[in-house]
Amino acid sequence: MIVNKEQTERLQNMLNQVLLNIGIGILLSLCFSVFYGTHVHAQQIITYLDRDSVRIGDTFQISYVVKGTYDRLFYPDETTFEGDPIVLKVERFRESSSTDSLVYTLQYFQNEDVIIPAQPITLRSGDSDTTIYTNRIPVFFKSSLQDSVSQFRPMKENYAFSSGILPYLFLLLIPLLGAILFWLKHKKRSSLQPKQRNYLGTEFEDPLILLKREIRELRTHKDIRSHDQADQFYVQLGDSIRRYIKRVYDFPALEMTSGEIVRGLVDHYASSSVIEKTRRVLMEADMVKFAKMTPEEESILSALHVADEFIDTVERDDSARLEELRLKHIDMERLKKEEFEQSGGTP
Residue 159 clears pLDDT 80, i.e. is over it: no
pTM beyond 0.75: the answer is: no
289 and 213 within one domain: yes
pLDDT, one tens digit per residue, over 202-236 is: 889 999 999 999 999 988 876 777 777 888 888 88
CA distance 205 to 202: 9
pLDDT, one tens digit per residue, over 38-50 is: 443 467 888 888 8
pLDDT, one tens digit per residue, over 190-205 is: 665 555 567 788 889 9
What range defines the domain where residue 105 resides?
44-141
Q: CATH code at 303?
A: 1.20.120
Instruction: Yes or no: say if 51 and 97 are a contact pair by the CB < 8 Å rule.
Output: no
pLDDT, one tens digit per residue, over 105-142 is: 888 887 788 888 888 988 888 888 888 888 888 888 88
Structural domains counted in the chain: 2
Residue 148 clears pLDDT 60, i.e. is over it: no
319 and 212 within one domain: yes
Task: Name the domain boundary from 116, 141, 166.
Answer: 141
Report, in angstroms and rounded to the nearest whole number, the Rg of the chain calculated over CA atoms.
37
